[in-house]
Structure 1
């Protein structure tokens, strides 16, 4: 046979042949995103409440001496003299994790409704169609989550630097010795700060891993199978053999037809 044309073509793989690990990884990282978003938003909300609802990011907080009923002195925040950060920065860092929780639940629902991938009759038809929209959205929101984490990290670092310079402290952990608004202790506020930072970077890591898994699924074409298609044509010798075979078949058919004709008897 002579090969006239040869090419590769993708066909939808049967759902049973698609590894369930793809779907498992998608769900796993979205669960991490949801929990880190809840933790980050809750922790940073407590930080904002500790400073009386004022934005602590990029702020220069002033402390003054006060005395309690027993006559012992302690340091509290002077909200009037303090230079607070932009409220929009704190709102951005507080509500991006909330959006992460909402969007991760939405994508968890979508991937649960879909099958493993490929071609299936269960759930949504052709579940591989959700991969590209998920990839575009994840890349977009990864940038948003990264911006929020960087803004939070930088804002807390600026606050700690001002705090150490103004109060002659060695590090931000010394905030534990100060009395904050609403009766919250500085130690708990410092722990909430660290929890908010860690949760923000875990959230970024979750979106990053989700993007990586989606990219790998696209590059590996896990939902498809590659089939090689060849268009063949017979050689001249094969054409002659084929024509001889056809002639012999036709001749055999004629002989059979001739034997089947029985001569009629002549009447006297």
Structure 2
């Protein structure tokens, strides 16, 4: 029996990873989060981490926060605990474009990748595009006002979170292989198309106006910084996600 620890076990991705691991059977699966009943851990301080990691062979690191630099602190605590416990495989979920898009959160994710690569631990890193849930969040945010002002030229390649969870489980049950091919959704959509799909699905009515934004960030997004079209392996579309409502 393999003991597998999943950080961020109550989060958007982590809960699907845990469900799939438990459904497969044959493993002890530990759900790690600050709200976990069995393994309450604060990765920011490392409190409770040593006990949670003890005896684990594999860690799937899904926990993340947009707070600047916090993920690096958490990763250092997790890596130290994994080394002490003799963990043989650390699987990390990352984001397509973190080396192209100048966002502080992306710089942090890239820094965490490097910490893991230099940790001496067996590791696997998977970069994916944005989950459908995040595309929906964007659309909701842009349609709060009477007129939806949508940045032009921005494209997304949203992917189903359960498909990413399935891939992470495959990787966790395999051997450490470093970086694996990126994973993107089945279609590239303009942000305008994402917003209009949301308006149709929700029954809302809003005029949609394109706005060209200046700056390096906007330029990187217009250049396709969030995309991996050659790795469009996802199956579920954004409209199908909206239809499940």
Q: TM-score by structure 1 length?
A: 0.22
Instruction: Please state which structure has a larger fraction of its residues in helix.
Output: 1
Q: Which structure is larger by alpha-carbon Rg, 1 or 2?
A: 1
RCO comparison, higher one (Cα < 8 Å, 6+)? 1
Q: TM-score by structure 2 length?
A: 0.23
